[in-house]
Every structure is written in C-alpha cells, then in structure tokens.
Chain A
Amino acid sequence: MSVEKIIFYVFAAILIASASLVVTTRNSVRATLFLVLCFVCSAILWMLLEAEFLAISLVLVYVGAVMVLFLFVVMMLDVDYAALKSGFVRFLPLALVVAGLVFAAIYSIVSSVHFGLEAYATPAAHPAEYSNIKELGMLIYTDYFYPFELAAVLLLVAIVAAISLTFRGSRERKVQKPEWQVAVNRADRVQLVKMAAVKKEQAAPASDAASE
C-alpha cells in the first residue's frame, strides 16, 4: 500500500467520523469544531488530488475565517437544543429506511462496475513546478469568465438581501441644514405660557396640563 493510499484512508475515515459527529453531538460548539476538523481533512484529500490552491484556500477561508465567525454566532445564540431534537426518535425509523433506500440506489450505480479504475484511469501526475494557481487563474479569467462574473453578482445579491432583511434602523440620512439653523427665530422655539397661581395640592395635575 502506497503512502498516498494510507493518507487517503486515514483522513477519509476521520472525515466521515467527524462529519457524523457534527450532526449527532449535543453541544453545538463541539459540532462546529468537528466541522472544522471535517474541513481540514477534506483539504488534505484535495491536496492528494493535486489541488493545492483549493486545499489551502479551504483552510484559510473556511477554517480560518468563516468557521471562527460561525463559532462566535453559535456561542452567542441561545439555541433550544431539546426543541431541535424533538421528533428525532419518532422520525428516525422512517429516515433510516429512506436513507437505506437512497444508499442502495446510489451504491448500485456508483459501484466499481461503472466508476472503477478500468473506466477511469489514474491521471498522470503533474511535474513539481506545475502551478495550480496559474492554471486556475487562466481558466477563470478566460473560459469561465461568464460564470465567474455571475458568481460575483450572486454575492452582490446576497449582500443586498442580507442588509434588506436585517437592517432595522432609520433609512433617512441625518444631515445638518445650516441655512435652517441660521434662520431660526426665538418665536419658533420658545413659547411663554401664562399660568394662574394655584394651590399646592393641585399643583401636580395643573403643571402636567400646562406642560402639554
């Protein structure tokens, strides 16, 4: 067994184990940390596929940035885990049957008969100086420029949608208008109200009425 194969099996096993722990563990902070482990393992699997750039960006972007933010959110929110898990046992048999059927269907198709090494030969390894990023860049900015631009529009829509759904503040910009400030008269701001003298026990309601 070659070294690559050993690495693949070890990290694939960790990946599957941590992925199932993400959905089964009770503590959501732990679930998030297991998700981080998932990403790290899949980054290593990508590394085996010679997709170094993708592997590194997965670690940097997802593990380094997105998951940390996610961890903050999970720690701040008070999620009712009991309510989330309710119905889990009730639906488990049905879910297992459906999952079993789907697995059987997928297994019968994606088995070694159709997708074995005979059908798909091992691709030739690239030389050491082969640059992943350069190839990716060439493809993105030439052949795939249209989907690339579309993905950018998609992000813009996500920003617009997120802001429109969460922004609750005032929509008006607050500006000073100097000409209005200068033009202010005493009569606009101050009003003198003539009041009759009142006795002390009636003072409270009378002053209320006056201040209105």
Chain B
Amino acid sequence: MPMLPELFLLAAACAILLIDLYVGDEKRTLTYGLAQLSLVATFVLNLQNFGAAREVLYHGMFVVDGMATLLKAGMLAVMALVLMFSRDYINQRSFHRGEYYILALFASLGMLVMVSGYSFLTIYLGLELLSLSLYAMVAMRRDSTDGPEAAMKYFVMGALASGLLLYGMSMIYGVTGSIQITEVQAKAVEILAAHPDKAALLTFGAIFLVAGIAFKLGAVPFHMWVPDVYHGAPTSVSALVSSAPKIAVFGMAMRLLPETLNSVLAQWQLLLTILCMLSIVIGNVSAVAQSNIKRMLAFSGIAHIGYFLLGLLSGTAQGYSAAMFYILVYALMSVAGFGMILVMTRAGFECESIDDFKGLWKRSPWHALMMMFIMMSMAGVPPLVGFWPKLEVIRAVLDSGLPHAVWLAAIAVLFAVVGAWYYLRVVKAIFFDEGEAPELQTAGDLRLAFSIAGLSMLVLGLMPGPLLALCAAVFAS
C-alpha cells in the first residue's frame, strides 16, 4: 500500500502523544525512543515503494513515484539525525520536551504529504502541517527573548509565503479550472495551443508560485527571515528548519513548476535565474561579514539554495537530478553544521561566536577533524561530499543550452571561492588560533550523531556514485 508510511507515521504520532501524557518521565526518554523508532519504521515502510511504478491515487490527490520515495527516505533519515542531535540539547534547557518530539513527527508527516501531494490542495495542506509545527518549535524556548521573536517573524513571513502560493494556485485554477496536477498540466497545454495570449495568465500564476517557493527556501530577495530565525531559534530547531523542510520544498517545487507548468518553462526559468544569481552573490558576500556562527550558517544556507536553484532552472532531467542530489547533500551538511554548534554547547552556555571554536584542536582532536570535514564539505573542497553536487549543478547548467549558461557557471564558481573563505575562517579558528575552547560536555549519542554526520561527509564524498545514480534514475524515464 503506497500510503502506508504516512498512515503509520500519523498513527505513531497520535499514539506517542497519548503515551507521553501518561508515562512521560522527566527526561522523556521513552518519548524520544518511540519517536526515533517510528521514524525508522516509517523509513523501512517507505523502502517498499522503491522501484515501484508511478501511481496517482485517491482521486488524483496522492502520487507515489521514484522522486517522492527517494525524497521521503532522505527526509526521514535527516529527521532521525536531527532528533539525535536534539535530545541532549533540550534536556539541558527548559523545553516542554514531549511536544518537541511530537511536533517534529507531525512536521515529518507534513513533509511526506508535501512531496507526495498531487493536487494543489494536498500540497498546501502538507506545507501548512509542516510550517505550523515549525512555528511552534521555534517559539518553544520561552525563557529566551530571541525565540518568540524569531517565531513571530517566521510566522508572519511564512503566512505571507503561503498567501502568495495560494494566490498563484488560485490564478492557475482560474485559467485551467482544476487543482489536480495531471489535469492542470493537460489543460494548460490545451489552452496555450488554442489561445497563445493566455500564457500571460499562467505566467502570472507561476510568478506567485515561484515567490512562495522562494520564500520557503529562503532565496534572495525573499531571504530576510532566514538569518533572524536560524539565530533566534533554539539551535536544535535551527538544524531542523534548515535541513529536511528544504528537501520537502524541493519536492513541492518539482510538482508545481516542471510537472504542472512545463508549458511556461522559459518564464519561470528566467525568474529562477534571477533568484539563483542573487542568492549566490548576496548569500556568500553577507556570510563573510558574520561573526556569529549561526548567522554565518544561515547566509551560507542562502548561498547553497542559490546553487541548488542552478540545477532546477536548467529545466532538463539532468538539472533536476543534480538539484535533487544537491538538496539531499545540503540537508545533511546543514544538520552537520548546526550539529557542530550543538556539540560545543553545554548547560548554561550557548556557542554563538566563531571565536568559541578557538583552540578546539588541542582539546578534542576527533571533533575538530569532523568539523573540518563539515566546513570543507560546505566549501566544496574535494574529496568531501559538498564538491560533487556543486560540480553536478554547474555541469547541468552548462549542458542546458540556456543563452547565459556560461556566465551563470562562471559566477557560481567565482562565488564558491568567496564562500571558501568564510568556511576556512572557522577551520583556522579551530586549528590555528590560540584559545581556551572548553572541554566538551555533551552526551554520548549527540557525539555519535556528530561523528556519523562528519564521517558521512568523507564517505559520501569518496563514494558519491550510489546516491548520484539514485537521483539520476528518478528522472531517467
């Protein structure tokens, strides 16, 4: 049954909600264990859909195909890693812990619904399910002033983005008379053949869809919320917000743009090109100026989204698979990047500044090495994993035959060099600067998760083949 992962996750989240109420201990160990278990079980249930034929089910509301299955696997794995990172962090702080895990599960459910939605309605509901859980999680830490402020900003911006998205959807519904993606696609082709002047209507809808997607991804010029939210949110929530939801938004973008509006491809390609270039330039340049590590990671995330859009705007199967590869790797790197901060924090101490990493090499060589892997991977240094998706998206855009492809690639490469500078600044602080980085005081499973994340940078970097092949196979047909 193709919908089994979603159904199971919903049932598990509801059951954990009740179990947490009655048997929750002070540290919520049981809730945490059950949440992890249900993510793993959902992952396993999702595996049965691998290789299955594409099916559109439940009155055209739900689709299961290679892309949805692979994205779901990626999101669930990233979510499990995020929860591993979160447990110790929230135990040390005054969180309402049970709800943390439950909302994380509902956010995962929203992401699964999003990438499997095949009607504007289900995609939108999935997005809201995800966003609503995230707003609450950002606001959860009430003893700080930053958290609720960031949540408020995130909420207002998110509501605006949803509004733009809905406006675009309603526009396209007005033209085609349907919200089901197969029908919209067929109707759009039919209408354009009969009345070429109606392309303006579809383009108008596409503009709002692109704006909504860009808001959720945090692409320039819709990026203003990103640094404030990542900075103000509890670090474990920043790790969540910056990683798995981006994969889900990629799924949504694929459903809404290439699958629905391929008939006005050139128009949204142009929009994405503008967003992509602005994100790469402004993201990288702003990140250089940051001394707060969370803000630096936020701007570096914006730049990464720019590179990811490079794949999406190519408009070819090669480009889509490169973008998919990029977003999966980016999610992993982003979790690892925030994990780096989580490893450094302890009760009563938030690691905020890059200076806090000074001299870590002498204290804890293993973790310093892992951090070097993560930073170098984000910078795109071979043989670490961050190099391969950058290479793939640039290759895709060069092969796309777009008129300005060479310029796009040149700017992308140039600003990758700018980007390397601020990542290396962190590496320099860890290895070469004198300082008294304190003894790490974090729990074993957090360090284990961090080692997994750090080593995966190297392992995936040395063997990018399997993941790359999986991404390519999705768009091969």
Q: Does B224 contact A (CB under 8 A)?
A: no
Kindly state the separation between the CA atoms of A211 and B80 in the bound complex, as whole angstroms.
53
Q: Does B311 contact A (CB under 8 A)?
A: no
When distances are taken between beta carbons in the complex, the residues of chain B under 8 Å from A146 are: 58-59, 61-62, 122
Q: Does A74 contact B (CB under 8 A)?
A: no
Interface window among B96-104, B363-371, B422-430: B96-104
- Answer whether A153 and B122 are a contact pair too, CB < 8 Å, given A160-B103, A164-B96: no
- Answer whether A161 and B61 are a contact pair too, CB < 8 Å, given A109-B200, A147-B121, A150-B125: no
- Answer whether A154 and B201 are a contact pair too, CB < 8 Å, given A160-B99, A160-B102, A160-B103: no
When distances are taken between beta carbons in the complex, the residues of chain B under 8 Å from A165 are: 136, 139-140, 142
When distances are taken between beta carbons in the complex, the residues of chain A under 8 Å from B174 are: 110, 115
Kindly state the separation between the CA atoms of A143 and B198 in the bound complex, as whole angstroms.
30
- Answer whether A114 and B122 are a contact pair too, CB < 8 Å, given A153-B106, A157-B133, A160-B103: no
Minimum CB distance partner of B171 in chain A: A109
B122 touching A164 by the CB < 8 A rule? no
- Answer whether A150 and B126 are a contact pair too, CB < 8 Å, given A109-B200, A144-B59: yes
Minimum CB distance partner of B174 in chain A: A115
Q: Does B40 contact A (CB under 8 A)?
A: no
When distances are taken between beta carbons in the complex, the residues of chain A under 8 Å from B24 are: 171
Q: Does B30 contact A (CB under 8 A)?
A: no
When distances are taken between beta carbons in the complex, the residues of chain A under 8 Å from B136 are: 157, 160-161, 164-165
Kindly state the separation between the CA atoms of A150 and B109 in the bound complex, as whole angstroms.
10
When distances are taken between beta carbons in the complex, the residues of chain A under 8 Å from B288 are: none
A154 touching B139 by the CB < 8 A rule? no
- Answer whether A157 and B103 are a contact pair too, CB < 8 Å, given A109-B200, A115-B174, A165-B136: yes
Kindly state the separation between the CA atoms of A150 and B99 in the bound complex, as whole angstroms.
19
Q: Count how many chain B residues have C-beta atoms less than 8 Å from C-beta atoms of the other chain.
A: 36
When distances are taken between beta carbons in the complex, the residues of chain A under 8 Å from B264 are: none
Q: Does B189 contact A (CB under 8 A)?
A: no
A158 touching B62 by the CB < 8 A rule? no
A114 touching B125 by the CB < 8 A rule? no
Kindly state the separation between the CA atoms of A171 and B106 in the bound complex, as whole angstroms.
22
Minimum CB distance partner of B24 in chain A: A171
When distances are taken between beta carbons in the complex, the residues of chain A under 8 Å from B132 are: 154, 157-158, 161
Q: Does A98 contact B (CB under 8 A)?
A: no
A157 touching B99 by the CB < 8 A rule? no
Minimum CB–CB distance from A112 to chain B (whole Å) comes to 13
Minimum CB–CB distance from A49 to chain B (whole Å) comes to 15
Q: Does B17 contact A (CB under 8 A)?
A: yes
When distances are taken between beta carbons in the complex, the residues of chain A under 8 Å from B125 are: 147, 150-151, 154
Minimum CB–CB distance from B29 to chain A (whole Å) comes to 15
Most buried by B among A105, A160, A163, A171: A160
When distances are taken between beta carbons in the complex, the residues of chain A under 8 Å from B103 are: 157, 160-161, 164
A114 touching B198 by the CB < 8 A rule? yes
B58 touching A154 by the CB < 8 A rule? no
When distances are taken between beta carbons in the complex, the residues of chain B under 8 Å from A109 are: 171, 200-201, 204
Q: Does B129 contact A (CB under 8 A)?
A: yes
Kindly state the separation between the CA atoms of A180 and B217 in the bound complex, as whole angstroms.
57
When distances are taken between beta carbons in the complex, the residues of chain A under 8 Å from B309 are: none
Kindly state the separation between the CA atoms of A143 and B59 in the bound complex, as whole angstroms.
6
Kindly state the separation between the CA atoms of A150 and B9 in the bound complex, as whole angstroms.
13
Q: Does A145 contact B (CB under 8 A)?
A: yes
When distances are taken between beta carbons in the complex, the residues of chain B under 8 Å from A151 are: 125
Q: Does B10 contact A (CB under 8 A)?
A: yes
List residues 321-349 of chain B with CB under 8 A from any CB of chain A: none
B58 touching A145 by the CB < 8 A rule? yes
When distances are taken between beta carbons in the complex, the residues of chain A under 8 Å from B109 are: 153
Give per-residue flags for B186-212: 1 if the beta carbon is below 8 A from chain A beta carbons, else 0.
Answer: 000000000000101100100000000
Q: Does B357 contact A (CB under 8 A)?
A: no
Minimum CB distance partner of A142 in chain B: B59
Q: Does B135 contact A (CB under 8 A)?
A: yes
Kindly state the separation between the CA atoms of A8 and B200 in the bound complex, as whole angstroms.
29
Kindly state the separation between the CA atoms of A158 and B136 in the bound complex, as whole angstroms.
9
Kindly state the separation between the CA atoms of A160 and B14 in the bound complex, as whole angstroms.
11
Minimum CB distance partner of A166 in chain B: B142
- Answer whether A161 and B198 are a contact pair too, CB < 8 Å, given A115-B174, A150-B126: no
Give per-residue flags for B213-253: 1 if the beta carbon is below 8 A from chain A beta carbons, else 0.
Answer: 00000000000000000000000000000000000000000
List residues 107-157 of chain B with CB under 8 A from any CB of chain A: 109, 113, 119, 121-122, 125-126, 128-129, 132-133, 135-136, 139-140, 142
Minimum CB–CB distance from A11 to chain B (whole Å) comes to 22
Within 8 Å by CB of A157, from B96, B106, B175, lies B106
Minimum CB–CB distance from B418 to chain A (whole Å) comes to 32
Minimum CB–CB distance from A184 to chain B (whole Å) comes to 25
When distances are taken between beta carbons in the complex, the residues of chain B under 8 Å from A114 are: 175, 198, 200-201
When distances are taken between beta carbons in the complex, the residues of chain B under 8 Å from A163 are: 99
Minimum CB–CB distance from B48 to chain A (whole Å) comes to 20
Minimum CB distance partner of B59 in chain A: A143
Minimum CB distance partner of B198 in chain A: A114
List residues 1-43 of chain B with CB under 8 A from any CB of chain A: 10, 14, 17, 24
Minimum CB–CB distance from A79 to chain B (whole Å) comes to 15
When distances are taken between beta carbons in the complex, the residues of chain B under 8 Å from A145 are: 58
B129 touching A153 by the CB < 8 A rule? yes
- Answer whether A147 and B102 are a contact pair too, CB < 8 Å, given A115-B174, A157-B132: no
When distances are taken between beta carbons in the complex, the residues of chain A under 8 Å from B198 are: 114
Minimum CB–CB distance from B90 to chain A (whole Å) comes to 12
The 5 lowest CB-CB distance pairs between A and B, nearest first, are A161-B136, A164-B99, A150-B125, A143-B59, A146-B61
A-B contact pairs, 8 of them (CB 8 A): A105-B204, A150-B113, A151-B125, A154-B128, A157-B133, A163-B99, A164-B103, A164-B136
Q: Which residues of A contact B (CB under 8 A)?
A: 105, 109-110, 114-115, 142-147, 150-151, 153-154, 156-158, 160-161, 163-165, 167, 171
Besides A150-B129, A154-B128, 20 more A-B contacts (Cβ < 8 Å) are A110-B174, A114-B200, A115-B174, A142-B59, A145-B58, A146-B122, A147-B121, A150-B113, A153-B10, A153-B109, A156-B106, A157-B132, A157-B133, A160-B99, A160-B102, A160-B103, A164-B96, A164-B136, A165-B140, A171-B96
